[in-house]
Amino acid sequence: MNKKAQLIMQILVFVIGLIIIGLVLLFGYSELQNLNERRCDTQRIQFGTQLLNEIQRNRGIGTSTVVQLGVPCEVEQVCFAGRNILTDNQGLGPTSFSGTVRQTTQNIIISSIQTNTQELRGDQTNVWTVTTTGIVEPIERFSTESAPIQTAADSILCVDAQRGNIRVRLQGQGQTTRVLEAP
């Protein structure tokens, strides 16, 4: 083989090597993103399960417990709607919320409550997470049937996450659990 052919062969091998390395990096980045999403989904399921267990465990009349729970990825608030808010939502508005809540978050939760009331006429979502990017998502396992809760003054209580945790006081009411912001 002459020198010119060897040079072309080396350049071709180098280009093919760069393409392979680029594809490996691209695939690796994509898989890391998927892994992070799965981790967040797992944390979300664990959070929902732990919160549901705590609410059900603290239904007994006279029980009062402060619970601290780790929140899923990027969650900055957890919002709870009491049973009365869900059944009589005609006057829902900014005064229905306790805690500092973005206007867009209020609108999404109010819309969710009103849509559920019109469509379902029964079991409704009553707990939502709010991410740092403003995404509001219901916790699917929570509903008026699985976790009947009340909030103070029948408002929608939004609790801020502090260092990846929320603290709430759970007070047993017999059939329901009252959720209050813990000091």
Q: According to the model, what pLDDT value does residue 141 have? A: 63
Q: Is residue 18 part of a domain?
A: no
Residue 50 scores a pLDDT above 70: yes
Q: Which residues contact 143 (CB under 8 A, 6 or more apart)?
A: 123, 124, 125, 126
Mean pLDDT of 26-44: 82
Q: How many helices (H) and strands (E) in the chain?
A: 3, 9
pLDDT band at 90 (very low <50, low <70, confident <90, very high): low
Query: Residue 116 falls within a domain, yes or no?
Result: yes
**How many structural domains is the chain composed of?**
1
Phi, psi of 180 (to 5 degrees): -130, 155
- Is the confidence at residue 101, as pLDDT, over 80? no
Residue 25 lies in a domain: no
Three-class SS of residue 165?
strand
Q: How confident is the model at residue 93 (pLDDT cuts 50, 70, 90)?
A: low
Which of 26-30, 59-63, 124-128 shows the lowest per-residue confidence on average (mean pLDDT)? Answer: 124-128
Within a domain: 110? yes
Instruction: Tell me whether residue 30 is in a domain.
Output: no
Q: Does residue 11 lie within any of the structural domains?
A: no
Instruction: Evaluate whether residue 81 is within a structural domain.
Output: yes
**Does the residue 19 lie in any domain?**
no
Q: Residue 28, SS3?
A: helix
**The domain containing residue 146 runs over which residues?**
36-181
Written as one string, the DSSP assignment of 115-162 is HHHHHHSS----EEEEETT--EEE-TT--TTTS-EEEGGG-EEEEE-B
